[in-house]
Amino acid sequence: MIERAWWIVKQKEAVERMKELKGKYECMRRAMEELERSDERLFRGAKIGKEEREGKVTVFPRTLRVPTETPPVKKWDGGAIDVRDK
C-alpha cells in the first residue's frame, strides 16, 4: 500500500516535471524564432554547433561571472610566504 502510494506520488512529480520542461521548451522555441526574425547574426551565434565547440564563433560566454560591486567573501590565497616575517 505504501509502495503504491509512493509510486503514485513519484508519477505525479514526473508528469509535472514533464509539463514544466515542455513549457520551457516552447518558450525557448518562440524566443529562437523571434531572434531569427530580428537578428540573423545573433541567431546563428545562439545555436550550439560544431563552430562553437571549435571556438570559431564568438558568442557571450555562458559561464562568465557577473561583475559585482563588492569583493568576494573568500579571498584568494596564492600560498606565498611573506619573507619579511622571518
Task: Give the global pTM.
Answer: 0.47
**pLDDT, mean of residues 24-33:** 92
Cα-based distances in Å from 78 to 64, 81, 82, 83, 84 = 22, 9, 11, 15, 17
Residue 13 lies in a domain: yes
Domain ranges, residue 16: 1-37
Q: What angle do CA 39, 67, 27 make, to 5 degrees?
A: 40
Which pLDDT band holds residue 49 (cuts at 50, 70, 90)? low
Residue 32 lies in a domain: yes
Domain count, the chain: 1
Residue 1 lies in a domain: yes
Residue 56 lies in a domain: no
Question: In the numeric block, which cell numbers belong to residue 66?
Answer: 557577473
Residue 6 lies in a domain: yes
